Chains A and B, each alone.
Chain A
Amino acid sequence: MNPTIRIGIVLLSMLLTSSTVSAQSKTVDPTTGAVSWETQMHGVTLSLTQILPDQARAFYLNRGLPAVATEPYAKACVYMTILRNDSAPGVVHFQLEDWSVVSTDQSRPPVSVEAWLKRLEEYDLTQAATIAFRWAQFPPEQAYQPGGDWNQGMLTTGLEADTVFDLVARWDVAGESYQGILRNVRCAS
C-alpha cells in the first residue's frame, strides 16, 4: 500500500477513535430552555445541566435559606452535575479541587462547598438548611465502584452569566490519571 495512503488511514482512524472516546452531546430542555452537555470517556459519564438562577433561588428558599443568602449562589453559574462509573477499569476516585473551569481569562477549580459554607455562616442558618445546602452539592471527594456508582449534585463555577468555559474533570483509577472535558459550556443568563 502506498505509504501516503497508509499514513492517511492511520490518521483518520486516530481521529475517529478520539472523537468516539470524547463525543459530546448537547440538549436543550424544551420547557425551560436549560441546556445540558454530556460526554463519555474511559468508561465514565460526565454531564452538566444548567440550573437557572430562579430555580436555584427556589430550591434553597424552600429549604429555609433566606433570600439574601441564596442570591450569590443563584448567580454563581450553577449546574446539576453527574459523574458515573459505567465501565471504568476500577474504582474512580476524584477530588473536585483537581478539576478546572477554564474560561478565556482564567483557569480555576469550581467553587468549593467549604467556601460556600463559610459565606453562609453570617446568616445564622438553621441546622436543617445548612445540611440541605451541604448535601445538595456535588461531593467534594468521592470514589465510585465500577458498575454504576454515581452522584448527582449542584456545582458552581463562580462565573458570570453567559460566560463560556470548558470543564476539565480529573480522576484516577488504580493510580492512573484520567480526564474528561466538556467544551464550550455556557452559564445560564
Chain B
Amino acid sequence: MSLIKASYGMFVVHPDPLKWIWLLLGVWLLPVYADLPPLTHGLTLVPQPHTAPALRLPTMDDETIDIEALKGKVVVVNFWATWCPPCRREMPSLERLYQTSKEKGLVVLAVNIGEDIDTIFPFLGTVDPSPSFPILLDNDSHSLSEWKVRGLPTTFVVGPDGNLVYQAVGGREFNHPALLQQLLDLLKE
C-alpha cells in the first residue's frame, strides 16, 4: 500500500499502482486545464449598495476577526478554497494588492470555505508571494449564504462606511492597474 502526497498537501492511500499514478496525474492535471481562461481585472459596482453582511470568524492563528470592527477601512473580502483553480491563481495578486495598499488603510480577509488548517497551510506555502493577510476559516460555509455567494471565488469590497461597494465574481488579477485604481480611489474618499 502506498502513500502519495499530492500537490495540495493531502494524503491518499490506494492499493493499485496504476490507480495511484492516475490519482497523482489527476490532481495535477485538473488545475492545469483550469489555467486556460484568463483572469479578468475589473471590479463591478454593487447594483444596490447596502450594509455588508456580518462576518465574524476565527483565523488560522485562532484569533477572531469581526468585520464590524474594521469600519473606517476599505476591506476586501475574498471567498475561496484550495481546490478552486481560479482561487489559487488569483491568490498571489491578492497578496501583491495587500502589500501595495495596506499602509493606505486597505484590509484583505480571505475566507476559506470548508477546509482545515492541515489542508490550507501547505497550499499557502506554494503561493508566491505567500499571503500575509488573515485567512478566516468558515468550516460550515455559512458565510456563503449570508453574503449571497453563488460560486467561488467571489470577492467583495466594503467601503469605510461599512457598505458593499464593489464585487467580483470569478478570478481577478488584483494588482492590475485598473483594479488597483478603483481601490485607491475608494481609499481617498
In the complex, whether A36 has a CB less than 8 A from a CB of chain B is yes
Which of A2-10, A15-23, A51-59, A168-176 interfaces with chain B? A51-59
Check A62 against B116 for contact (C-beta < 8 Å). Answer: no
CA of A128 to CA of B8, assembled, Å: 15
Instruction: Out of A56, A62, A128, A148, name the residue touching B170 (CB < 8 Å).
Output: A148
CA of A140 to CA of B30, assembled, Å: 21
Check B116 against A153 for contact (C-beta < 8 Å). Answer: no
Find the residue from B32, B116, B151, B170 having the highest chain A CB count within 10 A: B151
Interface residues of A in 129-186 (CB under 8 A from B): 131-132, 134-136, 138-153
CA of A158 to CA of B84, assembled, Å: 23
Check A151 against B169 for contact (C-beta < 8 Å). Answer: yes
Check B37 against A47 for contact (C-beta < 8 Å). Answer: yes
Which of B21-29, B48-56, B61-69, B124-132 interfaces with chain A? B21-29
Instruction: Out of B37, B116, B168, name the residue touching A128 (CB < 8 Å).
Output: B116
In the complex, how many angstroms separate the beta carbon of A166 from the nearest chain B beta carbon?
Answer: 22
A-side contacts of B150, CB under 8 Å? 139-143, 151
B-side contacts of A36, CB under 8 Å? 33, 36
CA of A52 to CA of B37, assembled, Å: 19
Check A147 against B42 for contact (C-beta < 8 Å). Answer: yes
Check B33 against A29 for contact (C-beta < 8 Å). Answer: yes
CA of A153 to CA of B150, assembled, Å: 11
Task: Identify the closest chain B residue to A83 (Cβ).
Answer: B170
Total number of residue pairs linking A and B with CB closer than 8 Å: 129
Interface residues of A in 80-122 (CB under 8 A from B): 80, 82, 84, 91
CA of A80 to CA of B36, assembled, Å: 11
Instruction: Out of A49, A62, A131, A141, name the residue touching B114 (CB < 8 Å).
Output: A131
CA of A139 to CA of B151, assembled, Å: 6
Check A149 against B168 for contact (C-beta < 8 Å). Answer: yes
In the complex, whether B103 has a CB less than 8 A from a CB of chain A is no
Check B23 against A32 for contact (C-beta < 8 Å). Answer: no
In the complex, whether B85 has a CB less than 8 A from a CB of chain A is yes
Contacts from A to B (Cβ < 8 Å): 29, 31-32, 34, 36, 47, 49, 51-52, 54-59, 61-63, 80, 82, 84, 91, 127-128, 131-132, 134-136, 138-153
